Amino acid sequence: MTTATATKRSGPQGPRAGGSTAGDGKGRIRRDGGAWFLVLPALIPILILSVGPLLYGIALAFTDAQSGRTRSTQWTGLLNFQDLLHDGLFWDSFRIGLVWAFGVTVPQFVLALGLALLLNANLRMRWLARALAIIPWAMPEVVVGIMWRLVYNPDAGILNETVRDLGLGDGRDWLTGLATALPAVIVVGIWAGMPQTAVALLAGLQNTPHELHEAAALDGAGAWRRFRTVTWPAIRPVALAISALNFIWNFNSFALVYVLTSGGPGGRTRLPMLFAYEEAFRYGQFGYAAAMGCVMVAVISVLLAFYLVGRLRGGEDA
């Protein structure tokens, strides 16, 4: 009697439980489908304009594609990459790209941190200083390049005029000198990208609780100690993120250096992007240029992997 009663009681519960699970599964499918429907308008342009060209460029790297409608494209496998291994000009441009990326990113961060600390202080007309600080960031890179070409002009540029007025010499041609071209371009890169880094660091500073600074000051901590124990730990995630992004953006720079020097003089400012551009659109070697692009994508992917691993480890430690 007890077994039968238990069976009768448990019998109806099985179908109801199963029906509930099936209903939840159907509801979850409907919710997922609705989410994908909302994401599609943003996802389709990314697939068409970013993922599609990237995959096409990777495929092109394994061919001998060249400019010209009558030329036939043949599959060459790893031949382009083998040629890159023995291309000294490409590896020279790669070295110049690393020097440029580090030479811009590191001073850019240091100066931006100082600017962010200054803009975070309680100064008069602080709102105006913040507005003026982002002007270089708001200007297109082509405009920045043209403006700085006028500054570096050997005959009527403001830099050489200042050098002459100070009695330091007759000035020099900064953008065509073998020893001065790359440093001159690095200065422009620092000036153009510093506001973006400063704005990101300023946001991190404003999210730092003011009570921590007050407590540290009551404990007798000086300005440097407060920065080291309170400010830096608070902005460290932002600093790492913006530095990694800046390095990637600087390594992939094209427009600014192209307007300033076009890779000259003698290839002293020929970044990898400029080298790939010349191979593709000046010499028509699309397959070879695509192989260069694949190498640069691989390098950037490795840097991103190191950054993400560091972020994950930092999150686990926290």
Predicted local confidence at residue 314, as pLDDT: 57
The mean of the pLDDT values for the chain is 84
Predicted local confidence at residue 315, as pLDDT: 54
**CA–CA gap between residue 25 and residue 46 (Å, rounded):** 30
**CA–CA gap between residue 297 and residue 54 (Å, rounded):** 10
Q: Does residue 20 carry a pLDDT above 60?
A: no
**CA–CA gap between residue 155 and residue 141 (Å, rounded):** 24
> What domains, with CATH codes, occur in the chain?
87-317 (1.10.3720.10)
81-119 pLDDT, tens per residue?
999 999 999 999 999 999 999 999 999 999 999 999 988
Q: Looking at residue 72, what DSSP letter applies?
A: P
**CA–CA gap between residue 106 and residue 101 (Å, rounded):** 8
Predicted local confidence at residue 16, as pLDDT: 45
Q: Which of 33-37, 77-81, 117-121, 179-183 has the lowest mean pLDDT?
A: 33-37
Pick the closest to residue 160 from 144, 145, 174, 139 (CA basis).
174
